[in-house]
Every structure is written in C-alpha cells, then in structure tokens.
C-alpha cells in the first residue's frame, strides 16, 4: 500500500510539473522569482518532448507500481494518461513536437510580456 500511495503521489507531482512547465511562466506575472525555477523546468519539458526520452518521474512511478504489485505502463506520462483521452490514436513524434511547441509559445509569450512591462 505505501508503494501505491507513493506512485500516486509521483503521478500527481508529474502532472503538476507538466502544468508548471507549460503554464508556469504565468506565475511570474505575480512572482518574478519563479522564473528561476520555471525556465529550467520548461527547458526540461521541451527537451523530453523533442528528444523522445522518458522523464525520470515516469520510471519512478512505474517502479513503485511494480513494487505495489501493479503493472507499469509503456511509453511516457503524456502517452499513458493524457493522450489516451485527448489523442486516442496514440503518441506520434509530430504530436510530441506540437506539445513542445505549446511549451515554448506559452512561455515565450509570457516572458515577452514581462520584458515589455518590466517597470516593477
């Protein structure tokens, strides 16, 4: 049971991390210091999506699920949890590049706004 709870905790953290990678720059509108954390997170998200690598959080979650007696899953977090709902045909490299582009567009847009309105 502890391994299953830990796996669910990693799952929740992983989802929050993906949201932070994609939309965390918006938090900088209120707290400028968040950019110190968000820029590397967004860069990591972009790297994972464009390189086709698995995020270490996926490996940790699968390991904990195996220890809890559950089956892990193939592929990455997005393919397993999100694409099954949003893109039922499965993950392709083009979709991964599109997701990476979303990370860049959202973040660069917010960064540009911050630079243009840096009077604080």
Please write the tens of the pLDDT for every residue from 84-115: 554 446 667 787 788 888 888 888 898 898 88
- For residues 76-97, b (16+ Cβ closer than 10 Å) or e, as one string? bbbbbbebeeeeeeebeeebbe
Q: List the chain domain ranges.
A: 2-116
User: CB count, 10 Å around CB of 17?
Assistant: 18
Say what the pTM is.
Answer: 0.70
């Amino acid at each position: 049971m502890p391994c299953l709870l830990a796996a669910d905790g990693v799952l929740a953290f992983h989802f929050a991390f993906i949201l932070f990678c994609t939309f965390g720059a918006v938090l900088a509108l209120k707290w400028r210091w968040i950019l110190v954390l968000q820029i590397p997170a967004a860069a990591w998200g972009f790297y994972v999506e464009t390189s086709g690598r698995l995020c270490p959080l996926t490996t940790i979650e699968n390991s904990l699920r195996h220890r809890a007696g559950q089956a892990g899953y193939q592929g990455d977090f997005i393919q397993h949890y999100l694409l099954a709902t949003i893109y039922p045909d499965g993950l392709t490299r083009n979709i991964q590049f599109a997701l990476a582009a979303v990370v860049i567009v959202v973040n660069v847009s917010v960064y540009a706004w911050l630079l243009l309105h840096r009077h604080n």
